[in-house]
Amino acid sequence: MYRVFFIFLCSILIVPCTQNITYGKNSASKKHVIIIFKNNIEKNTITQLDGKVKHSFHSISAIAGEVPQSAISKLQANDQIAKIEPDQKVRVSGQIRDWGVSKVQAPRAWSSHFTGKGVKIAVLDTGIAKHPDLSIAGGVSMVSKSYNDTDGHGTHVAGIIAAKNNKIGVVGVAPDAQIYAVKVLKSDGDGYISDVISGIEWSIKHHMNIINMSFGTLDYSEALKKEVDKASRNGILVVAAAGNHSNSKTSSKTDNIDYPARLSSTVAVGGVGKNLKKASFSSIGKEIEFTAPAVDILSTYIGNQYAWMDGTSMATPFVTGALALLKQEYPHLSNQALIAKLYTSTIDLGAKGKDHYYGYGFVQAPYIKSSFSTSLKTNQSTYKRGNTVQITENVLNANSKKPVSDANVKIVITTIKGVVKNTTTKTNSKGTITYKLTTNSHFYKGQYLITTTVSKSGYNTKIASKTIVLN
């Protein structure tokens, strides 16, 4: 089941649909197959058996096509063939507002000049439609003459990744990234594994940095695994939807992750709602690496419209966008290093550490922390016992020079004999703290070291120190 809410002028149209996910149901006369060869491709393997070649892959020794059912046994007997597998159908991972971009902290990333500029992203989907909020850098279709989207799913996914920051409509996580429409699914959201492989092959050839796949199948394909592995070896980050196979009765021991998300060379993405709880439909399993917004997601849609959609299809492009921001900043890092950086900024959800529901946690867009400028002072440098030491510290934003309020300031006063005072306070609206320490005859005579540690979310910690003398 999916819900789509369209926004067009002042009208709202609600369109409910029911989708049945089917995999590899073909006619009795002809079977869609993928043939993996041990060495070189031999196209006549199919044609001489009254079959038809649909795709001949250059990156793996395989072809896809249609053959009569009666030819299957003959192909299986061919010692030049490593494996014959059904060309399974894949389907968009469900469509079962916009809070998502804010929740993953994308605006904070933009303020650090992370926008995805220069990063090339292949959106393998139903195509992408022309839209005033999207810039399409190029593309290809494996299923029709045009990569134009008549379904809406691919356009919605593309908008989550890179809708323009142009003061209209919505904005994507990485608004300056280059998106490429790689149409591998037909207008009904269905497609074949062979078309997906062709799309990945195109992405490798055209030097994409990231591939987004918001679709899946429960069936394993050796040919797809080989192609995904090759993309990964070529430095392409492959991000895929976990699937929408869960419900309230799903056991915690279930592993119902879709392929290609289940493959080790992909980043598998699950979905959460606004309360950061697992979306009821989001598939679970040990392969989950990150979760992202998946409920009531507003994005671009066909017909120059905008629509709300649900599903791990929507969660996946949030992670793709976040990785694009990292790729812009660290273009030479390996896939694993980029994923590790994304992991360090996630919000851990569920069980501590990686778990089957949330993976490493809820994705957060990268950003550069701001810095403090501090001024630590005392009312004098030398005191007599019985005097009051007044400590003042002013805290400013190092760039804007504006006061930083509500920053935590930890004050530690020590001598050679140990800690005299350890306390924490907060800066006021003027970015200032004042602390008074009244000495007495029992205080140690000698040097005192005053150390302050200033901290606040979004800032690098700042440590300052000052020495005073008590006579």
CATH number of the domain residue 102 falls in: 3.40.50.200
- Side chain identity, residue 27: S
The per-residue pLDDT for 313 is 96
Active-site pick, 32, 55, 131, 153: 153
Please determine, for residue 427, whether its predicted confidence score (pLDDT) is greater than 50: yes
Active-site pick, 141, 283, 313, 345: 313
Average pLDDT, the chain: 89
Domain that holds residue 62: 30-87
Residues 217 and 296 in one domain: yes
Residues 154 and 234 in one domain: yes
Q: Which residues contact 156 (CB under 8 A, 6 or more apart)?
A: 95, 297, 299, 300, 301, 307, 309, 313, 314
Residues 335 and 384 in one domain: no
Residues 42 and 99 in one domain: no
The per-residue pLDDT for 96 is 38
Q: How far apart are CA 174 and CA 134, in angstroms?
A: 12
Domain-terminating residue out of 59, 87, 115: 87
Main-chain dihedrals φ then ψ at residue 423, nearest 5 degrees: -145, 165
What percent of the chain is predicted at pLDDT more than 90?
Answer: 70
Residues 156 and 45 in one domain: no
208: left (phi over 0), alpha (psi -120 to 50) or beta: beta
SS3 153: helix
Give the pLDDT mean for 89-112.
74
The per-residue pLDDT for 7 is 43
Q: Are 32 and 66 in contact (CB under 8 A)?
A: yes
What percent of the chain is predicted at pLDDT more than 70?
Answer: 92
Q: In terms of Cα–Cα distance, which of 280, 251, 455, 239 is closest to 363?
A: 239
**Is the residue at 17 inside a domain?**
no
More confident residue, 315 or 167: 315
Active-site pick, 87, 125, 133, 190: 125
Residues 71 and 108 in one domain: no
Residues 119 and 223 in one domain: yes
- Told to judge if 265 belongs to the known catalytic residues of this protein, a careful annotator would answer no
The per-residue pLDDT for 71 is 87
Please determine, for residue 20, whether its predicted confidence score (pLDDT) is greater than 60: no
- Told to judge if 313 belongs to the known catalytic residues of this protein, a careful annotator would answer yes
Number of structural domains (the chain) is: 3
Q: What is the CATH number of the domain that holds 418?
A: 2.60.40.1930
The per-residue pLDDT for 402 is 94
- Told to judge if 280 belongs to the known catalytic residues of this protein, a careful annotator would answer no
Please determine, for residue 60, whether its predicted confidence score (pLDDT) is greater than 70: yes
Convert the pLDDT of each residue in 355-401 to its tens digit. 999 999 999 998 877 899 999 999 999 999 999 999 999 999 998 89
In this structure, the chain runs to a length of: 471
Beta strands 446-455; 408-415: pairing state:
antiparallel
pLDDT band at residue 228, thresholds of 50, 70 and 90? very high
